[in-house]
Structure 1
Amino acid sequence: MNLIHTIKFKFTLWYLSVLSLLLVFLACGVYFTLSRTLHGNLDDSLKTRAEQLANFRDIIPIIAGGTFEEEIGEFISVYFYADGELTDISHKKHRIPVEKDLIDLAISGKSTFSTVQYLGNEELRIFVAHYSPINPSIRLNRFVKRDEFPSPGEERQEVEIHSAALVVARPTRDVEGALDHLLKILLTAIPLTIVFSGAGGVFLARKAFNPFEQITKTAQEIGEQDLSQRIKVNTKDELGRLSTTLNHMIDRIEGAFKRQKEFAGDASHELRAPLAVIQAEATLTLEKERDAEAYRKSLEVIAQESDKMSVVINQLLTLARADAGKEQLVFKKIDMAEFLSDVCDDIAILCREKKLTLQLSPFDAVPVHGDKRNLRSLLVNLLGNAVRYTPTGGTISVGLRREGPLAVVTIRDTGIGIPPEDLPHIFKRFYRVDKARSRNVGGSGLGLSICKQIIDVHKGKIEVESRMKKGSTFYVKIPIIMSG
């Protein structure tokens, strides 16, 4: 089988696809969460630093005087308007490229964050805050307009600064470096995780699906000629239940094949006996000239054996149609008391011929829903067996009563009885309690099988009680039509 068409491949592919998506979502979540956290911490540090500097009374003269000490990596600038011209002072002559709009917003009292490029390729994160000197009159030299420090002895100029913009900036290289390092780790870890997970997934899938291979191999080895093999059940999980279910199915198939073989063997045997008699009788008759009486007797024997074959064939056809579900049934409301009386009238003739007593108990009026032809066949079979296996002078009793939702027909005889060990098997096809005696009395071993099939179609039950040399009692239970 092509690998890409196997469940193992599809299972592993889906597993890796889901895992990849989860890892990508997780990596994105980690990266963006850390980025937001680091940038938030940087902004918080800028804001805190700006608040600290704003608390200095004379931060502008200190910066302008060159005595201010910046923290490592930070840049401090102050922007203000002097004589209508935007002026800035900073330590160590660095000028932070801040947009004029941000400075104006800060001077007006609104603080803002921004990111700018410094010296061409380095990013700075800046916080522009409003600053109001406590002493507006500050003496500054004009160097502040030219970004130069004053010469010794140079006269300072006094300016009025009521509002200024304090700019605190720090490079983002540490934050970006940490994020780049994390990104490299994620870009390395995710593919490696997928590769190792894929290898582990293939291993686990192969191990998990190995029992399926064994099940397939065993199923392929099971053939029509050998249904004895079974799948080994080593676990109690889903595979164990599947194996057990398949074993039960194979048991049923084996049983069906066995019954089919037995059925074919029994059917051929049943037909072989009358055919052999017919062939032998015909051969003997044709060997030499005989008188009319001898020919008549031979033809009677042939006719009798033909009748036996016809009965067996008709019974086989009945069972075959029932098995195939092709039997045409017509269900109607039946008055069971009247129906049973009619059947008993027909059986009474057979009882008189064999000098048997037929006793009819009072019948309860119970309506049932059934097929008359099949129910008649059921009752005739049971009553015929009672006549067949009851010695001369015996008694057959027939009763009908209502028992809850069921109509119960009771057929009791004083015949030879059925051994207890045979009772569970009497409804099987071609099963005989005593084969030699059954053939002598004309039984084929199919009558009770047909009875069982008919009662099953009518959603009823058939039960039997029997004692050797005392007789048998059959109970036919059929659901009645409930009034209302």
Structure 2
Amino acid sequence: MKIINFSKSISWRITIWHSIIFILILSLFSALLYITFSDSLNEEVDSMLVREGDMIAYCIEYGYSFSEIENHLNGLPVSIGIQKEEMYWQIENEQGQVIAASQNLHGQRIVSATMNMVDEKSFSWDPELNGIPLRAMSLPLLTKNKLTYRITVATYDRIRHVAIHQLRNITIICNFGFAAISIVIGWLISSKTLQPIKKIVTATNSISVTNLHERLPIEGSEDELQILAKTLNSMIDRLEISFAQIQQFTSDVSHELRTSLTILRGEIDVALNKDRSAEEYKSVLYSVMEEIVYLSDMVEKFLYLSTKTSDPNQIVSKVIDGIRLFEYVRNHLSSIAVNKKIELTFKTPETITFHGDEDLLRRLFVNLIENAIKYTPEGGTVAIHVTSKGKFAQIEVIDNGIGIPEEHLPYIFQRFYRVGDSRTRSQGGTGLGLSLCKWIVEVHKGTIEVRSKPHHGTTVILSLRHG
């Protein structure tokens, strides 16, 4: 049984992040609610105290006695949740002496502490009376800008403390409850969201070399997971094609090697079967040498294809002088053309440049022209015409040789493909040359096309970008 590492599980990481974000948002909301509710309660209590203090100041200004002031205040309504006996007041003279106070103070004094300014003439603070929390408000009474009395009004702060305490407890409990709920919901959401990925993983693990034809299921709407499945399917398509090409290539190489080795063994067996004349031994050696040259050429081209085509980024591109390039090709192939009595002609502009890898382009033109010479009878012609067409140069390699049947044209660029008996191993062909030519053209962002008719010759048309 496979043990899941929760620290590496995407489902758990999504769940944890979902819960953290949810808890942060909930905590911010709870803090905002707590602060807003506390301020609202403070404002309500302070407003009530200011009203009571203003009433005492009004009574003093109109000459009410202190007993009349208390009776008058007892007849006034106060805020809901506050009892009359929970209201306290005291009046101090300009020397700070208490000259009058509510009876429920029982001779005690509301002590001033650190005050907060409510408005221009009011201050609030939170004192205690016999361990009982109060909310107090101080209002100075001025006469001709001179302090005559200081009125202090206070109330038992039970309602505010109880409400705030209850609100704090409720928010804490709710936060823990919602955190647990968010973890469960986050896990369910992440599991549901990642379910298609689990299907993709299961399907991917089931695909191997023996069943590369199978594909991942594509379900649901056009979302990121469906795009992932399509991308993986495209990758598997390419792998299937590449694997089929490797199998085909391996089969072709094996066939070519087996054929050559069979020929070599047969020739040597015949030579060793009985004593032969020097001429017969020489004939066998020529035949063996022919096969060895063929094998050597095939291996050299095979290695070149393997190393060069494996990494196109290794190609070194630069501006190439086309006239010099074709001069090299002419010098390289002139002896072959002369030996076969082939007329080799080049028709090029005064100046022509290419942009690409010089070594690859040399090999491209040498292969194409050598092919044309190889399959053109003695006394024939091979012509190379180069013209400039906008951003591209068009190169035509024209011969009047044996030609290619139309049904073979779609396959001539495949590795090891050879056309019938007229283009056999006896002429030195490995079936790799045109495959390499096509790759070189494609890596240079060009095009290659072959037009041919049996006994009427072949024309290879290339289009390459100017330098």
Report the TM-score when normalising by structure 1. Answer: 0.81
1:127 partnered with 2:133:
no
* 1:79 alignment counterpart: 91
Match of 1:429 among 393, 415, 422: 415
Could you report, residue by residue, the CA deviation over 1:306-349 in whole angstroms, capped at 9, with x for unpaired residues?
A: 21111111111211221355999887865423442453355455
- Going from structure 1 to structure 2, the CA distance change for 1:24 and 1:284 (only over 3 Å counts) comes to same
* 2:68 alignment counterpart: 63
Match of 1:446 among 419, 432, 438: 432
CA distance in 2, matches of 1:329, 1:196: 59
CA distance in 2, matches of 1:212, 1:40: 56
- Going from structure 1 to structure 2, the CA distance change for 1:385 and 1:254 (only over 3 Å counts) comes to same
Tell me the SS of whatever aligns to 1:219.
helix
1:286 partnered with 2:272:
yes
> Which structure would you say has the larger Rg?
1
* Aligned residue-pair number: 448
Match of 2:375 among 389, 396, 407: 389
Tell me the SS of whatever aligns to 2:126.
strand
Pairing of 1:40-119 with structure 2 (within 5 A) = 40-56=43-59, 57-63=62-68, 66=71, 68-70=73-75, 71=77, 73-74=83-84, 75-81=87-93, 86-91=98-103, 94-95=106-107, 97-99=109-111, 111-118=122-129
* 1:199 alignment counterpart: 184
CA distance in 2, matches of 1:253, 1:406: 33
Amino acid at match of 2:127: V
Q: CA deviation at 1:471?
A: 3.8
* 1:223 alignment counterpart: 208
Amino acid at match of 1:129: L
* 1:25 alignment counterpart: 28
Tell me the SS of whatever aligns to 1:163.
strand
Check conservation: 1:399, 1:411, Cα contact below 8 A: yes
- The percentage of aligned residue pairs carrying the same residue is 28
CA distance in 1, matches of 2:313, 2:138: 97
- Going from structure 1 to structure 2, the CA distance change for 1:379 and 1:68 (only over 3 Å counts) comes to closer
RMSD of aligned residue pairs (Cα, Å): 3.5
Q: CA deviation at 1:206?
A: 1.0
Amino acid at match of 1:301: S
Check conservation: 1:8, 1:202, Cα contact below 8 A: yes
Greater Cα offset, 323-332 or 312-321? 323-332
Could you report, residue by residue, the CA deviation over 1:375-394 in whole angstroms, capped at 9, with x for unpaired residues?
A: 33322211122233345665
Check conservation: 2:386, 2:395, Cα contact below 8 A: yes
- Going from structure 1 to structure 2, the CA distance change for 1:114 and 1:3 (only over 3 Å counts) comes to closer
CA distance in 2, matches of 1:393, 1:406: 33
Greater Cα offset, 289-298 or 471-480? 471-480
CA distance in 1, matches of 2:136, 2:385: 109
Greater Cα offset, 321-330 or 275-284? 321-330
- Going from structure 1 to structure 2, the CA distance change for 1:254 and 1:68 (only over 3 Å counts) comes to closer
* 1:234 alignment counterpart: 219
Q: CA deviation at 1:441?
A: 3.8
Check conservation: 2:451, 2:459, Cα contact below 8 A: yes
- Going from structure 1 to structure 2, the CA distance change for 1:38 and 1:198 (only over 3 Å counts) comes to same
Q: CA deviation at 1:369?
A: 5.7
- Going from structure 1 to structure 2, the CA distance change for 1:432 and 1:173 (only over 3 Å counts) comes to farther
- Going from structure 1 to structure 2, the CA distance change for 1:87 and 1:341 (only over 3 Å counts) comes to closer
Check conservation: 1:331, 1:370, Cα contact below 8 A: yes
Report the TM-score when normalising by structure 2. Answer: 0.83
Amino acid at match of 1:114: W
Tell me the SS of whatever aligns to 2:127.
strand
Tell me the SS of whatever aligns to 2:374.
helix
